[in-house]
Amino acid sequence: MEFFKKLKDRLFKIDVSKQKEKSKNTFLKKQENLIIKKRKKTINKYVLGLKKSRTNFSRQILELQTKHNKINEEFFEELEEILIMSDISVSLVTNIIYEIKKEIKIENITSPKLISEVIIDKMFAIYTNDSIVNTNLNIENNRLNVILVVGVNGSGKTTTIAKLANNFINNNKKVLLAAADTFRAGAIEQLDIWSQKIGCDIIKPNKSNDPASVVYDAIEKSKKNNYDILIIDTAGRLQNKINLMNELKKINLIIKRKIPNAPHESLLVLDATTGQNGISQAKHFKEVTSLSGIVLTKMDGTSKGGIVLTIKEELDLLVKLIGLGEKLEDLEEFSLDSFIYGMVKGIVNGNI
């Protein structure tokens, strides 16, 4: 079982096979050092943001390992409870436990002290399903990329949009925001304040209060002025599901009429602290509009990291971005390796 070592190698080393050649070339070496430095910075954000989840999960696993000196049914019952309590759905937990049992038989593992790596390995395997998980945003150069952002009130849409726009601007992209949440008083102003803070252009409602017309104006402006990215903020809740459905339908129609293969991303923002409740809300959204991925916010505020697995299982969607704090720089592209490392760092050597 070398799962943790392999994970660390993937995260912190560039390409082991070229190690010898690399050291000869100082320019390459410098470039590699820069990449590693950047990577470490990102991983560190995961490590800091996932502190609550990690401490909670690792502590429980370590306690379980010390409490039992044999791996038996009682051990598995307690493990099952820990996994369920960390927001992994019951069906997935059953699956993970089944896989762990199979593995310890093959590897002939009898001591609970050696099981943590098997647990992590199986959780990882369930997520990837032995295939490569692509969580990149569908953004291309030389076209207008339209990103529609939806989700319930307070899930973190507007904040995420500001963080995302800020990231794009830092990467020299020309970004326009569309304030299409005309339902909630104060929503436009909130996005406006962010746009000023990050130095980003914004389209606000003109005469009418119709979100679709804001979107129309925003697309016109983006096309005319060669923007790279248009991000659309939407209302979290309307009077009822039909209204929400109609509004999102209308917005999508306007977008498609102007750019047939857009929106290039329809991201659902999900508050990680809401657990199963958030998952049910997400299912409602999935029924009313097509989605391309999840932004999981407030991961820093919860102690339950298992929700990432449950999202994939129950919504059949991947987490593409993860919110690890309230500040502008606290949004990261989702990396399964960094996430798992942030969740279990220290668990293997008992040093949480």
CA 292 – CA 318 distance, rounded (Å): 8
Residue 118 near residue 104 (C-beta atoms within 8 A): yes
The site map against Mg ion for 124-163 (x = CB under 5 A) is ---------------------------------xx-----
- Which residue of this chain has its Cβ atom nearest to ligand GTP in the complex? 323
* Nearer of residues 113 and 237 to ligand GTP, judged by Cβ: 237
Residue 120 near residue 114 (C-beta atoms within 8 A): no
| Size, binding site for ligand GTP by CB under 6 A | 22
Query: Nearest-CA neighbor of 259 among 144, 147, 139?
Result: 144
Q: Does 329 bind ligand GTP (CB under 6 A)?
A: no
CA 160 – CA 181 distance, rounded (Å): 14
Least distance to Mg ion from the beta carbon of 191, Å? 7
Q: Which of 112, 211, 236, 342 binds ligand GTP (CB under 6 A)?
A: 236
Amino acid at 128: T
Binders of Mg ion among residues 186 to 245 (CB under 5 A) are 187
Residue 68 near residue 74 (C-beta atoms within 8 A): yes
Give the DSSP letter string of 198-255: HT-EEE---SS--HHHHHHHHHHHHHHTT-SEEEEEE-S--SSHHHHHHHHHHHHHHH
* Nearer of residues 257 and 284 to ligand GTP, judged by Cβ: 284
* Nearer of residues 114 and 328 to ligand GTP, judged by Cβ: 328
The encoded tokens of residue 11 equal: 């995260």
Q: Which of 56, 155, 222, 302 binds ligand GTP (CB under 6 A)?
A: 155
- Which residue of this chain has its Cβ atom nearest to Mg ion in the complex? 158
- Region of residue 176 (left: phi > 0; alpha: psi -120 to 50; beta: else): beta
Least distance to Mg ion from the beta carbon of 273, Å? 17
Q: Which of 281, 289, 297, 302 binds ligand GTP (CB under 6 A)?
A: 297
Query: Nearest-CA neighbor of 263 among 226, 224, 234?
Result: 234
* Nearer of residues 122 and 157 to Mg ion, judged by Cβ: 157
Binders of ligand GTP among residues 168 to 197 (CB under 6 A) are 181, 184, 187
Strands 319-323 vs 331-333: parallel, antiparallel or unpaired: antiparallel
Q: Which of 103, 228, 300, 314 binds ligand GTP (CB under 6 A)?
A: 300
Binders of ligand GTP among residues 258 to 277 (CB under 6 A) are 269
Contact residues toward ligand GTP (CB under 6 A) are 151, 153-159, 181, 184, 187, 236, 269, 297-298, 300-301, 323-326, 330
